[in-house]
Structures are given as structure tokens and as C-alpha cells.
Amino acid sequence: MDLGIIGQAAGLFAVTNIDDILILALFFAQGAGHPGSTRRIVLGQYLGFAAILAVAVAAAFGATFLPESAIPYLGLLPLALGLKAAWQAWKDHRDGSGDEEAEQTKEGGPSPLEVAAVTFANGGDNIGVYVPVFATAGIGGMTVYAAVFLVLVAVWCFAGRFFATRPVIAKALARWGHILLPLVLIAIGLLILIKGGAFGL
């Protein structure tokens, strides 16, 4: 196995997914104190990233079931989830903290599908970077890239959870996380839509 390819794969993953650590930290903060939330977040992250890989690999082999013009519209996913989270935070604030605690206990943090949707939508631009790399790497190189990426997803999840559980950061996220998460998701959604020129933006 070529160490050069492993290094390139690690570098490519880090550069294209650096923003995911913040999103993961917010998700882990949202799920703090809920049994099984870590498992659900990690599962969602893997589902979302596996979908990114599947689309990139298929495109590298010439399949175009996701047209390039459709990628900017993936921004609608985090935008919708951000608006939903903002509505929930506003409703909880209006109803009082007791209801907020009940709601959080019921929901238990983000679901795997919510995490997967944000991961996939936020990785729309990753697909554009991965396709030419995969296309020139051949099947052997592509396999190494995919394996390194999947190992690093676990590292990213660990880093996100690590930051979310540091006392100073955890305190800040506990206090502001219900505001930060919707803002970050809405910003990501708008950025993807605007950057990709969706709806003629």
C-alpha cells in the first residue's frame, strides 16, 4: 500500500471536511445527556459520508444520476433542518424551560437521518473535488481513498465529541447551542445555495 496515497487521502479529507468538526460538536452538545445519542450521531455521519462517497465513485465511473446543476439545491436540506431547529428553540423558549427539558428527553438529540442529511448536503462540494481524484486514481487508489476517508470519519466524530465535552466549550454549547445549531445549519444551507447559483442567486 502506497503511503503517498494514504497521505494524499488524509490531506484531501481534512481540507474538504474541516467545517464538519464544528457541526459535529454542535450535534454532540445537542445530544448531551441522552442515552444512545453518540451512536445515532456517528451512524448519521457515516450514512451521510457513505452517500457522498457513493455519488463520487459512481460519477468517477461515468454515472451522472446526480446532475451537477442539482448539487447547489442540496443546500435546502440544512436550511430546512436549521429552520426546524430555530422554530423548536423559539417554541421551547416561549413555552418555558420545563417543556424544553421534556422535549429534549423525548427527542434525545438529533436523529441519524438529520445528521446524515446535513453531512450529505454539506459535502456537495466535496463530490466535485473527489470525482476527478477518483477518476484518475483507478480502482486500487479509489479503494485506498475510501478506506482512509471512512477511518477519518471516526476521527472526526471523536474530535467533535471531544470539543463538545471540554468543560468550557460544553458550558458555552449548553448555553448557546440551541441558537448556534440553527444559525450554523441555516448559514451552511444559504452558502451552498448561493455559491452554487441555485434559484439564480
Distance CA 86, CA 102 (A): 17
pLDDT confidence bin for 61, thresholds 50/70/90? confident
The reported pLDDT for the residue numbered 27 is: 92
143-166 pLDDT, tens digit each: 999 999 999 999 999 999 999 988
Distance CA 11, CA 9 (A): 5
149 CB neighbour count, 10 Å cutoff: 22
Task: Output the pTM of the full model.
Answer: 0.77
29-45 pLDDT, tens digit each: 888 888 899 999 999 99
Cα Rg, the chain, nearest whole Å = 18
Three-state SS for 134?
A: helix
